[in-house]
């Protein structure tokens, strides 16, 4: 089974991302959206953890939420894929289940 | 087969501070009537939902923790509690309510519903589901 | 593909309702089917027609009602959660002895079983919440 994990919380505020990464099996996908996009930026206190996770899981970030928060795509960790809502829908369809880390 | 889906309810929040735990339990109880393959996961702060000795009288709320002990009567007996989440909070299984169910196939023998699993076991459990509902 | 959507937070307070709306729009645009949109927890507050947001802001309730009408969406508000939070349709208002109802067009109040059924019937259930 392949899971799309969605994280909508900043790692600076909640443990959703940390818990998600602890439970995301190799081959699964993680989409950062809403306040969760903060974790996609390089140079943050969580960047190394994200980079480590990216050896096993694919990281995506919702472009509209980045843009809304004034976070440019040039600031992202290398290898994170920017998707739009259409891409979000495609990810949800491509994976077998969607697990929201609320 | 296609009629029965594997449902996992993931609980990551404390009771009382927000209504998620209580309303999650309401979904679980209603969902039980649909005869799906149901599991409950208690991860992170969700483990606090199962502590014994809850008494919210002082905060003016109703104690809904006895409802967890009724889950066995609804044939909900796969209750997974994450070991790392307990440990990080200084809790052990002895701090939790004793949840049981009666096995029809073994002359109604009483069995434990709670299974303490590691985070990597929990990840595998999550991976086997058709529907994951997080509250 | 058939999607069911669960919305667990109210309008304006949280982005969940906005995200769900954008997701559903994109899914419909891509030719997918939305089996049901289920409103739970504070998500039931999306369904009151008594909201009056500032003119220059989005009207979340109206947006939902219009989307439902345009695409014949099944938007279900959980009855237990709705009762707690004062969301009533005409029947409920009468039954509970309240002097008025407030549910907006396109929403219907029903039981939690509708959420479980939404999970069973759809290919994917996507949750938006806190």
C1-54 pLDDT, tens per residue?
A: 999 999 999 999 999 999 999 999 999 999 999 999 999 999 999 999 999 999
Distance, in Å, from the CA atom of A36 to the CA atom of C14, rounded to the nearest integer, reads: 13
Place of tokens 């076991």: B121
Range of the domain at B103: 6-134
Whether the CB of C52 is below 8 Å from some CB of chain A: the reply is: no
User: What are the structural domain ranges in chain A?
Assistant: 3-101
Q: Which CATH superfamily is domain A3-101 in?
A: DsrEFH-like (3.40.1260.10)
A29-60 pLDDT, tens per residue?
A: 999 999 999 999 999 999 999 999 999 999 99
Domain count, chain B: 1
DSSP state of A96: S
CB contact under 8 A, C125 and A98: yes
**Considering only alpha carbons, which residue of chain B is nearest residue A2?**
B127
Q: How many residues does chain A have?
A: 102
**CATH code at B109?**
3.40.1260.10
User: Which residues in chain C touch residue B26, judged by CB atoms under 8 angstroms apart?
Assistant: 80, 112
Interface test with C, best of B6, B31, B39, B61 (most C CBs within 10 A): B31
- Torsion angles phi and psi, residue C124, rounded to 5: -140, 140
**Considering only alpha carbons, which residue of chain B is nearest residue A98?**
B132
Residue pair B113/B78 in contact (Cβ under 8 Å)? The answer is: yes
Could you give all domains of chain C from N- to C-terminal order, each with its CATH number?
Answer: 2-128 (3.40.1260.10)
pLDDT at position B3, please? Answer: 75
Return per-residue pLDDT of chain B as tens, 135 residues.
457 999 999 999 999 999 999 999 999 999 999 999 999 999 999 999 999 999 999 999 999 999 999 999 999 999 999 999 999 999 999 999 999 999 999 999 999 999 999 999 999 999 999 999 998
User: Which residues in chain A touch residue B130, judged by CB atoms under 8 angstroms apart?
Assistant: 96-97
CB contact under 8 A, C112 and B31: yes
CB contact under 8 A, B123 and A99: no
Pairing verdict, β B6-11 and A29-32: unpaired
**Considering only alpha carbons, which residue of chain A is nearest residue C125?**
A98
In a domain, B1, yes or no: no
Interface of C with A in 54-113 (CB under 8 A): none
Candidate list C5, C75, C78, C122, residue with the active-site label: C78
pLDDT at position B109, please? Answer: 95
Question: Is C18 annotated as catalytic?
Answer: no
Alpha carbon dihedral C18, C23, C29, C33, in 10-degree steps, equals -120
Distance, in Å, from the CA atom of C87 to the CA atom of C102, rounded to the nearest integer, reads: 6
Closest CA to A33 of B19, B75, C23: C23
C84 Cβ neighbours under 8 A, 6+ residues apart: none
**HSE-up of residue B32 (Cα within 13 Å, Cβ side):** 16
Cα C115 to Cα A8, A51, B26, C75: the distances in Å are 22, 37, 12, 11
In a domain, B20, yes or no: yes
Query: Environment class of residue C93 by beta-carbon count within 10 Å: exposed (0-12), middle (13-18) or buried (19+)?
Result: middle
pLDDT at position B131, please? Answer: 97
Closest CA to B130 of A3, C38, C3: A3
Distance, in Å, from the CA atom of A23 to the CA atom of A28, rounded to the nearest integer, reads: 10
Tokens (6 digits) for A31: 């989409």
Pairing verdict, β B114-117 and C107-110: unpaired
Whether the CB of B1 is below 8 Å from some CB of chain C: the reply is: no
The pTM of the whole model exceeds 0.90: yes
């Amino acid at each position: 089974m392949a899971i799309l994990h969605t994280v909508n919380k900043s790692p600076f505020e909640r443990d959703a991302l940390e818990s998600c990464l602890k439970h995301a099996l190799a081959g699964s996908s993680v989409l950062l959206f809403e306040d969760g996009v903060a974790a996609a930026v390089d140079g943050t206190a969580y960047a190394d953890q994200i980079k480590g996770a990216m050896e096993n899981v694919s990281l995506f970030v919702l472009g509209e939420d980045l843009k809304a928060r004034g976070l440019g795509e040039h600031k992202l960790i290398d290898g994170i894929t920017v998707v739009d809502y259409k891409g979000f829908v495609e990810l949800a369809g491509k994976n077998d289940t969607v697990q929201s880390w609320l | 087969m296609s009629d029965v889906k594997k449902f996992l309810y993931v609980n990551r929040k404390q009771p009382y501070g927000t209504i998620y735990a209580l309303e999650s339990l309401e979904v679980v109880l209603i969902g039980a009537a649909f005869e799906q393959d149901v599991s409950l996961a208690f991860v992170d702060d969700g483990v606090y939902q199962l502590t014994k000795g809850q008494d919210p009288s002082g905060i003016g709320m109703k104690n809904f923790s006895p409802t967890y002990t009724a889950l066995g009567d609804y044939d909900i007996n796969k209750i997974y509690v994450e070991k790392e989440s307990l440990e990080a909070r200084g809790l052990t299984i002895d701090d939790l309510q004793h949840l049981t169910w009666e096995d029809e196939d073994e002359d109604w023998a009483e069995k434990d519903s709670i299974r303490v699993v590691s985070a990597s076991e929990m990840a595998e459990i999550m991976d086997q589901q058709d529907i994951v509902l997080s509250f | 593909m058939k999607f069911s959507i669960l919305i667990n937070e109210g309008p304006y307070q949280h982005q969940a309702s906005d995200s769900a709306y954008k997701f559903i729009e994109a899914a419909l645009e891509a030719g997918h089917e939305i089996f049901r949109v289920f409103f739970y927890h504070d998500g039931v507050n999306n369904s009151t027609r008594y909201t009056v947001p500032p003119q220059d802001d989005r009207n979340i309730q109206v947006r939902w009602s219009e989307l439902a009408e345009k695409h014949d969406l099944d938007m279900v508000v959980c009855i237990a959660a709705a009762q707690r939070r004062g969301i009533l349709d005409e029947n409920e208002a009468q039954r509970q002895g309240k002097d008025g109802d407030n549910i907006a067009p396109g929403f219907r109040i029903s039981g939690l079983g509708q959420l479980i059924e939404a999970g069973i019937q759809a290919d994917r259930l996507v949750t938006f919440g806190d």
